[in-house]
Amino acid sequence: MTELMSIPGHIDPVPVPRPQAPAEGGRVNLIGLSKVQIRAALSEAGLDEKQAKLRAKQLWHQIYNRGATDFAAMSDIAKPQRAWLAECFAIERPEVVVEQVSTDGTRKWLLRTHDGHDFEMVFIPDADRGTLCVSSQVGCTLNCRFCHTGTMRLVRNLEPGEIVGQVMLARDSLGEWPPSAAEQQSNYDPEGRMLSNIVMMGMGEPLYNFDAVRDALKIVMDGDGLGLSRRRITLSTSGVVPMMARAGEEIGVNLAVSLHAVTKEVRDEIVPLNRKYGIEELLEACAAYPGANNARRITFEYVMLKGKNDSDADARELVRLIRKYKLPAKVNLIPFNPWPGADYECSDEERIRRFSEIVFEAGISAPIRRPRGRDIMAACGQLKSAAEKKSRAELDRIAAEKQAALA
């Protein structure tokens, strides 16, 4: 059982940790379990301690390192025991509802949990890396005004297995599981994989599902598991200040902060969580983030909204704040990706370029992110919403409920 996550205020909608739900037929799904938990599950199912230890090690390697999808193919386990494992256990990834590939190579999946809730995952290939954008919740309790996921109610937190399962599905789809030691050619190079980086920037606020995100990322980072270095993983938060230090200590991945505005007035409007944890408090937490230094800078995400947060004065204030808190920072300027019913427009190209220049001239890197996968609606929350359109009145009602919860 995981510890209760305590979040001050009224906005934590899922305060009770849930044990991982059983797979079909009451079988225990092994995906998402730690090595120790797999061993305990095997003991509980009847294996003696020595057997449980050995099998747990083999299963771990097969599932997370080799990407096995069933027990039948595990040739290092005796046949009768494979059949027994299949009766008691499952290796179940989330279900793929839709997989789309954009003309620019971006891939997008609509995935479904075992209890029928849809969520999204996106893969963005670049020349020197490939980044998988992973979801942490179905929906979101926060209500950032420019974000499509923010218009959805939080359905539930994703389980550790549903978070690791996303990475495993992407590896399935890209055909990037390493070959076995026996088959392994000398030219296999994990550094050459398309899926090289992970960002927790899909649907949901990862720091409101802390335990599951931490447990899932531990598996992703395990050397005999999925084997991604923590330097290639980034967790993005809208600014859940009380959880940031723990994220640094217990997960230790790179931090991205969705800043998006430099004045209280504007940030209160577009990131309502700012009314609870203000800009100064947030930047103090960034300055204290364990592991942040010039080699591992904090990324500030800044979505460019026309006439709202994109003036020269805003850019200069951003520089002043970063300097004031002596933050090892880089700024990611994100052109706003519009969606039907959104209250904002994207800043003009020239405005974004000028904003970038001002920050850059102060010695802070401020690249402009290219919009990707527009033809497949690859921005957060858009595929799911296309599948289930809500009326404007309903969106307003959900927004009002969320605002009331924050007050």
If we measure between CA atoms, which residue out of 33, 35, 23 comes closest to residue 90?
23
Please give the residues from 150 up to 189 whose contact with ligand SF4 meets the rule CB under 6 A: 150
- Give the residue carrying structure tokens 């401020």: 366
| Dist CA 6 CA 266 (whole Å) | 28
Cα separation of 126 and 131, whole Å? 8
Q: For residue 6, give both structure tokens.
A: 């305590």
Least Cβ distance, residue 258 to ligand SF4 (angstroms): 6
Return the residues of window 21-80 that contact ligand SF4 according to CB under 6 A: none
Nearer to ligand SF4, 92 or 162 (CB): 162
238 near ligand SF4, judged by CB under 6 A: yes
* Cβ closest to ligand SAH, residue 152 vs residue 228: 152
Rounded alpha-carbon distances, angstroms, from residue 254 to 119, 279, 291: 24, 20, 8
* Distance separating alpha carbons of residues 290 and 44, to the nearest angstrom: 38
- Is 199 a residue that touches ligand SF4 (CB under 6 A)? no
- Give which of ligand SAH, ligand SF4, none residue 269 binds (C-beta under 5 to 8 Å, depending on kind): none
Q: Does 113 bind ligand SAH (CB under 6 A)?
A: no
- At 382, list the tokens: 């858009």
Which are the catalytic amino acids?
120, 380
Residues 6+ apart with CB under 8 A from 127: none
The option from ligand SF4, ligand SAH, none interacting with 169 (CB < 5 to 8 A, set by class) reads none
Taking CB under 6 A as the criterion, which residues in 341-380 touch ligand SAH? 379-380
CB within 8 Å of 211: residues ≥ 6 apart: 2, 3, 5, 17, 160
197 binding ligand SF4? (CB under 6 A): no
Rounded Cα distance between 74 and 230, Å, is 29
C-alpha 69: how far from chain center: 23
Kindly state whether residue 248 participates in binding ligand SF4, applying the rule CB under 6 A.
no
Which residue in this structure is represented by tokens 């409101």? 208
Residue tagged 């690791």 (tokens): 164
Of 287, 300, 280, which is closest to residue 237 (Cα–Cα)?
A: 300
- Using CB distances below 5 to 8 A depending on partner kind, what does residue 151 bind out of ligand SAH, ligand SF4, none? none
CA distance 100 to 98: 6
Please name the residues in contact with 159: beta carbons below 8 A apart, sequence gap of 6 or more: 18, 20, 21, 32, 212
Among 166, 337, 356, 385, binds ligand SAH (CB under 6 A): 337
Among 31, 140, 256, 327, binds ligand SF4 (CB under 6 A): 140
Q: Any contact of residue 205 with ligand SF4 (CB under 6 A)?
A: yes
Burial class (CB in 10 A: 0-12, 13-18, 19+), 236: buried
Q: Tell whether residue 300 is a contact of ligand SAH (CB under 6 A).
A: no
Specify the stretch interacting with ligand SF4 by CB under 6 A; choose among 39-47, 89-97, 146-154, 223-231: 146-154
Q: Which listed range, 2-10, 145-153, 225-233, 383-391, lies at the site for ligand SAH (CB under 6 A)?
A: 145-153
Q: Is 206 among the residues that bind ligand SF4 (CB under 6 A)?
A: no
Q: Does 336 bind ligand SAH (CB under 6 A)?
A: yes
Least distance CB 281 / ligand SAH (angstroms)? 16
* Site map (CB under 6 A) of ligand SAH, residues 204-223, x = contact: -x------------------
Residue 236 binds ligand SAH, judged by CB under 6 A: yes
| Total count of residues recorded for the chain | 407
274 is a site residue for ligand SAH (CB under 6 A): no
Query: Count residues contacting ligand SAH (CB under 6 A)?
Result: 17
Q: Could you tell me the maximum CA-CA distance found in the chain, to the nearest angstrom?
A: 70
SS3 content of the chain, % helix, strand, coil (to 5): 40, 15, 45
Asked if 144 is part of the footprint of ligand SF4 (rule: CB under 6 A), the reply reads yes
In the set 204, 206, 225, 248, which binds ligand SF4 (CB under 6 A)? 204
- Which stretches of the chain bind ligand SAH, using CB under 6 A? 144, 146-148, 201, 205, 236-238, 258, 301, 303, 334, 336-337, 379-380
- Which stretches of the chain bind ligand SF4, using CB under 6 A? 140, 142-144, 147, 149-150, 204-205, 238, 258
